Amino acid sequence: MFKVSYGLPDTIVDNSEKRWHKVYYESGEIQAEGPIKKNQITDRWRVYYESGEILSEANYKRGAREGWAVFYYKGGEIQQFGRWKKNLAVGLFKNYYPNGILQSVGYYKRGEQHGEWKIYFNSGKLKELSLWKKGDNHGLMKIYYENGQLKKTGMWKNGKYKGLWKLFYEDGALEQAANYKNSLEEGLLTTYYQGGAVKEVGYWSEGKRNGEMEQYFENGKLYQKGLWIDDKQHGAWVFYYSNGSIREEATFNNGVGEGVGKYYYENGNLAQDAVWVNGKRNGRFKKFYENGALYENGSFENDLKEGVWKIYNEKGILKETKKYQKGVMVSFTSEQNAN
């Protein structure tokens, strides 16, 4: 995860017992230097940036990295140091920010992260605490905000989320609680507003929303409720205004609108009445003024206006008559006595 890897030449053709070898960039600047023996790099090698600063120092044995290795930033600050055995990272490894602050510390086993790892902010404060097993997250993980508050916590098993995971706001308030199986949401999932009120509660299965779901305004009033099947809205859904009055009533089939859909003003009066087929308006349509008087009525075909449409003023007097063909108005009549 934090391994810094800069390669040495793949092939060094030299069959002498032991000699000093240098490798150069195309610019002529030295890239690496160290001893070779029987065509294999050995002992202490140093690698350089093209600008001349030391990039890494490492020990080798029979062509494989063996012992301590140190990597540097261009400014000379240590970027990483750790121990190697037969070209595999083993034991304690530390990584640093360019300012010298510890970035991470943890252990490797046979080239894979293993055991406890800690990651830090540039300020030096703990950012993440995790457990690893054979290169996978395994066990408890805690992630923190820079102010020290817990941000996220839960369990891993073989590199996948397992069981209850919790998310928190920066002030420590709970933001979400969810159960996981193989890194997929499973069972009850609840989210909260920062003030503590429930924002959403619903059920999940294999990473998809399945079952009843309710969402709320921050004042505790219901925002919407309905059924999900395989992450798609299904059946009757109701949507609300923040004062508790109904905003919309709709029916879904496999995620698309199907059947009668009604929209309401905040005062409770009907705003629109439409019929939906396969996610498109088809059939009669009515729209109303906020006082309850009819504004217009007509028909849709595949979400396009079709046939005669009539428009009324707030007193219920016919104001206009329009005729449509596939959404295009083909005739228009204005009633002189509408005012």
Which CA distances in Å does 278 have to 213, 253, 257, 282?
A: 22, 8, 6, 9
pLDDT at 3: 39
Whether residue 43 lies inside any domain: the answer is yes
pLDDT at 11: 46
Give the type of residue at 116. Answer: E
pLDDT at 17: 74
Whether residue 338 lies inside any domain: the answer is no
pLDDT at 5: 42
Q: What is the pLDDT of residues 26-56, one digit of tens each?
A: 999 999 999 999 889 999 999 999 999 999 9
Q: How does DSSP assign 92-130, residue by residue? A: EEEEE-TTS-EEEEEEEETTEEEEEEEEE-TTS-EEEEE
User: Which stretches in the chain have pLDDT values below 50?
Assistant: 1-7, 10-13
Measuring CA to CA, which residue among 227, 225, 223, 215 is closest to residue 254?
Answer: 227
pTM of the predicted structure, to 2 decimals: 0.85
Whether residue 83 lies inside any domain: the answer is yes
Whether residue 58 lies inside any domain: the answer is yes
pLDDT at 199: 98
Domain of 64: which CATH number? 3.90.930
Domain hosting 61: range is 1-115
Whether residue 182 lies inside any domain: the answer is no
Domain total of the chain:
1
Whether residue 9 lies inside any domain: the answer is yes
